[in-house]
């Protein structure tokens, strides 16, 4: 059975909203067009990271990257951020104000490698560094550590070039271990985490930082060389 494109498909019981099949299809297409740019941006950055990883392995017999994961924010995640930040719910505003729709997480064994990967991406002249938040140098009060960078990467579509923001989070295994547990605890307690548990988490973050520092020292002794790191933008 076919339905005329402009006949109402959904009508709210209070009569406030109604969409035709044609309108719903247009909304779906617009959303797909919106999301696909982020998927391609992600792919470009993932390729850059995997090239660096392979070069390190083949030319320097050293792997600075333990793990890479990536995701495009879910529609629910986008809607949650739009309402939490009071952003106008149209694609142009979302594009302008939400810069972590495409996200890559690079997990390294050592803090020094996290900064090194950040530097190597920053030096690539087709990437534009837009924002850096160095939560390694300045951890969040709860103990969260990671280096966040928003890069803009050009993506070439049939319609021309679009510059897509991609958030890259650089962290160590210990930071990642802590952040994933903290995330689960927040989810379980629906953000109302008991204060004793918050204190435990902060203490665990301190322990993770000590472990990172010790492992880095041992690693430096093993390989020689310096471990100076800082973000300069």
Residues catalogued as catalytic: 167
Q: Does residue 100 interact with ligand 0O2 by CB under 6 A? A: yes
How many residues bind ligand 0O2 (CB under 6 A)? The answer is 12
Query: Which range touches ligand 0O2 (CB under 6 A), out of 34-42, 87-95, 116-124, 137-145?
Result: 137-145
Query: Which range touches ligand 0O2 (CB under 6 A), out of 12-20, 43-51, 142-150, 156-164?
Result: 142-150
Separation of alpha carbons 176 and 99, rounded Å: 21
We find the least distance from the C-beta atom of residue 118 to ligand 0O2, in angstroms, to be: 14
Phi, psi for residue 154 in degrees, rounded to 5: -75, 135
Residue in the shown chain whose Cβ atom is closest to ligand 0O2:
144
Residue 122: which H helix or E strand, with range?
Answer: helix 111-122
CB-wise, 22 or 77, nearer to ligand 0O2? 77
How far from the centroid of its chain's Cα atoms is residue 120's Cα?
Answer: 18
We find the least distance from the C-beta atom of residue 213 to ligand 0O2, in angstroms, to be: 21
We find the least distance from the C-beta atom of residue 179 to ligand 0O2, in angstroms, to be: 4
CB-wise, 100 or 216, nearer to ligand 0O2? 100
Separation of alpha carbons 182 and 162, rounded Å: 35
Q: What is the 3-state secondary structure (H, E, C) of 173-191?
A: HHHHHHHHHHHHHHHHCCC
Q: How does DSSP classify residue 71?
A: E
């Amino acid at each position: 059975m076919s339905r005329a494109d402009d006949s109402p498909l959904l009508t709210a019981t209070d009569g406030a909203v109604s969409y035709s099949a044609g309108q719903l299809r247009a909304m779906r297409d617009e959303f797909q067009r919106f999301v696909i740019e982020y998927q391609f941006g992600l792919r470009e950055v993932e390729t850059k990271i995997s090239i660096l990883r392979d070069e390190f392995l083949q030319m320097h017999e050293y792997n600075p990257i333990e793990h890479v994961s990536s995701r495009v924010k879910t529609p629910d995640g986008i809607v949650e951020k739009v309402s939490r930040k009071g952003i106008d719910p149209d694609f142009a505003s979302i594009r302008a104000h939400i810069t972590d729709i495409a996200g890559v997480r690079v997990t390294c064994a050592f803090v020094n490698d996290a900064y090194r990967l950040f530097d190597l991406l920053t030096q690539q002249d087709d990437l534009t560094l837009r924002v850096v938040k160095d939560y390694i140098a300045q951890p969040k009060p709860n103990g969260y550590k990671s280096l966040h960078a928003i890069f803009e990467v050009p993506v070439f579509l049939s319609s021309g070039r679009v510059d897509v923001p991609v958030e890259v989070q650089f962290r160590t295994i210990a930071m990642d271990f802590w952040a994933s547990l903290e995330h689960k605890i927040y989810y379980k307690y629906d953000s109302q985490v008991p204060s004793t548990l918050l204190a435990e988490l902060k203490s665990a973050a301190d322990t993770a930082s000590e472990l990172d520092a010790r492992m880095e020292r041992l690693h430096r002794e093993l390989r020689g060389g310096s471990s100076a790191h800082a973000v300069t933008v």
